[in-house]
Amino acid sequence: MLNFTTKPDGVIAFIGRLDAAQTEKANSVLSQITSSVTLDFQELEYISSAGLGVLLSNQKRLKSQGNGLKLINLNKFISDIFMYTGFDKIFEIG
């Protein structure tokens, strides 16, 4: 299950698991973004290659418009996935 909350400062919090079963839901939220935004992964437990694909396609779309996604509060597991896949070079991680 994957849920989202938008904090008062505009940060979008991901809660749960971003796997193949949740990519449509994630893409429906991310595709609405038209400017730079921060995604808070503090409560994201898991991300699959399908989830990475959703993030990548939206990052490419936003970068082509001069914007992008910033990721914060990655747990050790998710941080390692981003490092091993090279996604730490594609996304701003804070």
User: pLDDT (tens digit, 9 = 90+) per residue, 9-25?
Assistant: 999 999 999 999 999 99
Mean pLDDT, residues 24-41 = 97
pTM to 2 decimal places = 0.94
Residue 26, exposed/middle/buried by CB under 10 A (0-12, 13-18, 19+)?
Answer: buried
Rounded Cα–Cα distance for residues 52 and 47 (Å): 7
Are 59 and 50 in contact by the 8 Å Cβ rule? The answer is no
Mean pLDDT, residues 44-69 = 98
Rounded Cα–Cα distance for residues 17 and 64 (Å): 28
Rounded Cα–Cα distance for residues 33 and 1 (Å): 21
Residue 21 to residues 1, 24, 70, Cα–Cα distance (Å): 8, 8, 24
Which domain does 16 fall in, by range?
Answer: 2-93
Domain count, the chain: 1
Q: Kindly report the CATH number assigned to the domain that includes residue 34.
A: 3.30.750.24
Rounded Cα–Cα distance for residues 65 and 61 (Å): 7
What pLDDT is stored for residue 49 in this prediction?
97
